[in-house]
Amino acid sequence: MIPTDTNILERFLQLRRFRQARKYLNGDVLDFGGNKGELRPLVSGTYTLCNKNYAVLKHKRFDRIIMLGVLEHITVSRVKPVLSMLKTHLRKDGFLILTTPAPAAKPILEVLSFLRIVDRKNILEHKKYWRKHELYALADACGFRVVTYSSFQCGLNNFMVLERSDGVHE
Q: What is the pLDDT of residues 41-51, one digit of tens each?
A: 989 999 999 99
- Largest separation between any pair of C-alpha atoms in the chain: 50
Report whether pLDDT(15) > 90. no
Please tell me which of 15-29, 46-60, 123-137 the model is most confident about, judged by mean pLDDT: 123-137
Q: What is the chain's mean pLDDT, rounded?
A: 91
Structure confidence at residue 10 (pLDDT) = 81
pLDDT (0 to 100) of residue 2: 44
pTM higher than the cut 0.85: yes
Residue 4, pLDDT > 60, answer no
- Rounded to an integer, the average pLDDT of 89-101 is 96
Residue pair 144/136 in contact (Cβ under 8 Å)? The answer is no
More confident residue, 106 or 37: 106
Structure confidence at residue 80 as a pLDDT band (50, 70, 90)? very high
Higher pLDDT, 151 or 13: 151
Angle between helices 76-87 and 132-141 (to 10 degrees): 50
Between these two residues, 70 and 35, which has the higher pLDDT value? 70
Question: Cα separations (Å) of 129 from 54, 102, 135?
Answer: 25, 5, 10
Q: Is the pLDDT of residue 168 over 80?
A: no
